[in-house]
Structures are given as structure tokens and as C-alpha cells.
Structure 1
Amino acid sequence: MLNINEIKRPIAAEIDVFEEKFKASMKTPVHLLDRILYYVVKSKGKKIRPMFVFFSASICGGINEATHRGAVLVELLHTATLMHDDVVDNSYQRRGFFSINALWKNKIAVLVGDYLLSKGLLLSIDNGDFKLLKIVSEAVKQMSEGELLQVEKARRMDISEEIYYEVIRQKTASLIASCCACGAASADADKATIEKMRLFGEKIGIAFQIKDDMFDFGTDDVGKPLGIDIKEKKVTLPLIYALNNSDSGEKKRMINLVKNHNDDPKKISEIISFVKQKGGLEYAETQMKKYQDDAFAILDTFPAGAAKTGLEQLVRFTTERNK
């Protein structure tokens, strides 16, 4: 698998500057908040989203100060939404670290998330980055709609493949799409190019989420506990395909297991075996590669160079990862 540090190398200096600007964006005189935000910075992940911003800017004209502000804006938004998600999902760990709500309880986690959102808004307004703010605000709207659509459909267990794609397009892909669009916009690309990069990011985001959903049912190199989505009654592509390729009796039984026995390890194992037997993982893999190919087709319209290579490698990293 591609090494993230190798992919990052052409923009390593920009990432170092970004990290300093990201830390500076969260400065506060409130001691409790400062302590929490220090923990947040310490537990940050691979910085995939800022990398999409920088490579997208580079392929569209070049990285500048607006690009750095766009990367910080996206990362502030992303961090805030993760905090809110952990509260909603009652999650107590993220990337091997305790979540903010696990250490400081839900009220503080929500308030810190709100604080980060406000810092992102002020960063854009104070610097006149209204184009970037509009792109990211649209992503926030879509992420909220996607979450609510998923909740609505999970209650009735009537999610179709078409609705599944709409959920992940809004919930996950919209943020990666905004990273690529922000990068292009920060480099003063024209509207057509910004939209092209937004669509590129959307394709990657959908492929990314399909890959993530496959982990729930186990692969040879699984990197997350099995059955998490099943426990949360999330109907994902492998399960949708398996249900659509079952007779009515089998389908009814499996839906009943997901709805009413989703905390029983034996029942979860039965659902996972059902999905594997019906070819759900193979089908999801095929669909993921289709979206990956669509992203590459868009990228092929850009000239060769380090930025294009970086984006190609970043796409492969997001879809070939094992966690």
C-alpha cells in the first residue's frame, strides 16, 4: 500500500506551515478550552483533507495564503463535525484516542465543536474568503441532510441502493468535494474548473465511504471492529446488495436480525456471513472501483505533473487502505 508520507513529500513544507496555522487558529485564553484543543491537535490523523486542498490548488495554478486558509477552514469544520458525531453516536474512541465526549462529557464536546465552527467562519470572513466559505457552508448543509436522511431510513429499513449513494454523497463525499473545490478556488480557477474539482472530490468521497462500509463485514486486512454499522442499524451497500439478491423469506429474516438483534454477537456474525455468501463485498468492491475510475477520468483532463501524481496517489491511498 502507498505510504502517506511518500505521497505528502511534494507538499511537506506546505503541510508543516498548515500545522502551525491550524494550531494558531485555535488559540484561546480559556484554560479548559486550551487544554482540550491541545489534546485535539495531538490526536489529529493523517491530514488527508488538507492534502486534497493543497494538491488541488497546485494543479489549478498554485498554492498561496488563501489555500492555507482554505485548508485550515476545512480541517476546523471536519474536526468540529467529528466531535458532534461522537456525541450523536455515543462513541468513546477515535483513532485509538479517547473522544472529547469520553473525557469531558457531551456538553463540552458540543460546545468545543461549536467553537471550532465559529473559528472557521471568522477566519474566512476576516480575510474576505467568501468563495471558500460558500463552498464549505454548502458541505455543512449537505452533511447534516445526509445524516438525517440516514437516520430516517434506518428506522424503516427501506433504504435502496439509490438512497444509499445519496446518503454517502451528502454525508461523506461533500466534505472531500469541498476540499478539492476550495483548493481550486483558492488558486483563482474559473467556475468550470472549480466544479470539475468538486466533482472529482465527490467521486473520491463516495469510493472512500464504500471502502469504509466494507470494513464492517471483514476483509483479509480488516482495520476496524466488525459489525459497528450493524449495531447502529446502518444499511450499507454490501448488505443492500445481499438483501436484494435474497428471496422474500430470507430478506425478511435478515432485516429482523438487524432491527431487533443487532447487539447479539452471534446474530451479527450471522448477518456478516449472509452478506459474504451473497457476494455483497465483491459487489461493493466493484462499485468502489467504478467511482475511483470516474475520479481518474476527471483527473486525466489535467496536465501531468507532481500535483497530478500526488492526487492520483492520494486517491489510491483512500481506496486501498486497510483501516
Structure 2
Amino acid sequence: MLKLDQIKKPIEKEIDAFEEKFKASMQSSVPLLDRITHYIVKRKGKQMRPMFVFFSANICGGITESTYRAASLVELLHTATLVHDDVVDNSFERRGFFSINALWKNKIAVLVGDYLLAKGLQLSVDNSEFKQLKIVSDAVQQMSEGELLQIEKVRKMDISEAIYYEVIRQKTASLIASCCAAGAASAGADDETVKLMHSFGENIGIAFQIKDDLFDFGVDDVGKPKGIDIKEKKVTLPLIYALNKADKAEKKKMINLVKNHDDDPQKISQIINFVQLSGGLAYAEEQMMKYQAKAFEIISKFPESASKTGLEQLVRFTTERKK
């Protein structure tokens, strides 16, 4: 399987230029803010979101200055949500680094998140790029709604498969969809093409999240079942399928176990075994491949190019990645 560094080769120069522009978009006259945003830039992730923006722009007319701003807008608003998420979750680590709230406390972290959000809005308004602003703002709204929907349903443990898909469509897929749609819009694509690219990104996003669900049923570095989602009482597709297949007594027993496992490794293993034996993992993988096929079908409508190949490789990466 290709690594992301290999996939991004056709747009490597553009991604490098984007990093400089993204760094500049966060600049402030307040030294503390500049220290924190410099720390954020240093902890950059896999760059999948900018890759989706640039590849999408390229197959819809070509990369423009607007494309760089679209990628920066996505990153600014997404980074703002991550900073706020770490405060909400009381999380002190992200991608192996200390979180902003771990180093500078909650009050500063919330203000930094607000600042990044404002910078994203300002970047779009200053350049009259209201279509891109709407695309990305809609995604951030959906991410918040998806998170709240999940919290509400997890409390009651009544997540159906339909609600699960609604949660992940809002929480995960909406962001990747906005990358593809904003990239297309930045290249001057018509509304129909922007909508098509949004659908493309949404299908990839759903497949991406199902893959994450499957990771939870693997083992960690010392051979113990991961079960991180189970520990956090998140109801994922493999578990939903297993519960739906179980008889009434077993379903009640397993729901009780999920609610009251108290991080007991034996109870976590019991839940994981229940899902594995039910065929929950095979079912989730089958659904993941259906969404991958939908994404391939959409991208097949575009002419052959290096960027089309790049998007196809990104689709494969979402379902074949090892972590």
C-alpha cells in the first residue's frame, strides 16, 4: 500500500507552499498566541485534508490562490475544533504531543480555538470567498451536531444503524466532504460539480470512520485488545451489528456489560469476542467497501490525470491503512 508521502508527490510543491501560507494565516501581534500557533504548526498531522483540497481543485479546473485559502480555511476551523475538543474531553495528549490545554491550561486553549475560528472567517470574508466559507462552516456545524447526537444516544445505548451513519456522516465525513467541495469551488467549478465532489468526500469519510471502528477490535503493541471505543462507551458499527444479531437476553447482557465494564480488561475482551463471533467485523468491512465503491464511481466521471489518480489512491488509503 502506498504511503501518504508517496500519494502527495504530484502536489508536493503546492503542499509545501500551503504550509507557509497556513503559518502566515495564523500570525498575531500577541507573542503568546504566536508561540502557541507555532507549536500547532510543528505538530502537523498526515496532511490528508489539504491533499483532498488540492487534488479536488486540480481535477475541477486547476489550483489557484483561492485553493490555498480554501485549504487554510479548512485547517483553521478544524484545528479550532480540535483545540476545543481537547478541553471538553479533558485530554492532555494529541498525536503523541501535549495538547494546548495541557501546556497552557483550559482558558487559554479555549481562547486560542476562538482565535483560529475567527482567523478562518476573516480569511474568507477578506477575499469575498463566501461559497467556500459556507461549505466549511456547514461542516463545522454538522460536526458539533454529530457529537451532541452521539452523546445523547450513547447515554441511552439506543443507537440504531441509521443513527450511527448519521453521527459519522456529521462528525467525520462532513469535514472530508468540505475539503473536496471547497477545493472544487476554489477552481471555479459549477454548483453541480461542487455537489458531486462533496458526495465523493462524504463517502470517503464514512469509509474512513468505519475503518477506525475496525481498528478498535485489533490488539495494541503488547498484544492486548484495544477496545478504546468500548472503554469510552462509544457504540460503533461492529457492535451495533452484533447487538442486532443477538437474542433479547444476550443483547441486554452485553449492553449492561458495555455500560458497566469499569475498564476491566476481561470484560472488554468479552465484548470484543462477542462482536468477533457475531460476524460484526466482517459486516463492517463489507459496508466500508460499499462506500469505497461509491467514491470510486463518482471519481470515475472525471478525465484521467495525476490528481484523479491521487484521489483514487487516497480512497484506497482510507480502507487499507494500518492505523
TM-score scaled by length of structure 1: 0.97
| Ranges in structure 1 where 5+ consecutive residues have no aligned partner | none
Please show how residues 42-191 of structure 1 align to structure 2 within 5 Å.
42-191=42-191
Answer yes or no: is the 8 Å Cα contact 1:215–1:224 preserved in 2: no
Counterpart secondary structure, 1:148: helix
C-alpha displacement at 1:225, in angstroms?
7.6
Point out 4+ residue stretches in structure 1 off by more than 4 angstroms.
219-225
- Once the two structures are superposed, residues 254-283 of structure 1 have per-residue CA deviations (whole angstroms, 9 ceiling, x without a partner) of 101111224222211211111111111111
Deviation at 1:65, TM superposition (A): 0.3
Judged with a 3 Å threshold, the aligned counterparts in structure 2 of structure 1 residues 224 and 311 are, in CA distance, closer, same or farther, namely farther
Q: What is the identity, as a one-letter code, of the residue corresponding to 2:234?
A: K
C-alpha separation between the residues in 2 aligned to 1:87 and 1:223? Answer: 31
Q: How far is the alpha carbon of 1:157 from its aligned partner? A: 0.2
Query: What SS is found at the alignment partner of 1:307?
Result: helix
Letter of the 1:169 partner, please give it.
R
Q: Rate the CA distance shift 1:224–1:170 in 2: closer, same or farther, 3 A.
A: farther
Contact 1:57 1:183 in 2 (8 A): yes
Give deviations 1:148-190, integer Å, cap 9, x for gaps: 1000000000000010000000111000000000011011111
Q: Structure 2 counterpart of 1:16, which letter?
A: D
Does the residue aligned with 2:8 lie in a helix, a strand or coil? helix
Give the CA deviation at 1:66: 0.3
Which amino acid is the alignment partner of residue 61 of structure 2?
Answer: G
* Greater Cα offset, 130-139 or 227-236: 227-236
Q: Residues 87 and 109 of structure 2 are in contact (CA less than 8 Å); yes or no, is this contact kept in structure 1? A: yes
Letter in structure 2 aligned against 1:34: D
C-alpha distance in structure 1 between counterparts of 2:60 and 2:123, whole Å: 23
1: CA distance, partners of 2:221 / 2:322: 6
Question: 2:219–2:226: 8 Å Cα contact kept in structure 1?
Answer: no
- 1:216-268: CA deviations, max 9, x gaps? 11169999981221122110101001111111111111101111224222211
Q: Distance in 1 between matches of 2:104 and 2:257?
A: 35
Which piece of structure 1 moves more, 312-321 or 190-199?
Answer: 312-321
Aligned pair 1:207/2:207, yes or no? yes
Alignment correspondent of 2:251: 251
Rounded Cα–Cα distance in structure 2 between residues aligned with 1:185 and 1:122: 18
Paired residues of 2:78 and 2:140 also in contact (CA < 8 A): no
- Could you tell me how far apart the structure 1 residues matched to 2:222 and 2:240 are? 20
Give percent identity, aligned residues only: 76
| TM-score normalized with structure 2 length | 0.97
Alpha-carbon shift at residue 89 of structure 1 (Å): 2.0
Distance 2:290 2:258 in 1: 28
Change (3 A) 1:117 1:224: farther
Aligned residue pairs: how many? 323
Equivalent residue letter for 2:154: A
Amino acid at match of 2:10: P
How far 1:321 moved relative to its partner?
A: 0.9
Q: Residues of 1 paired with 2:222 and 2:200: CA distance?
A: 27
Displacement, 1:121? 0.3
CA RMSD of superposed structures (Å): 1.7
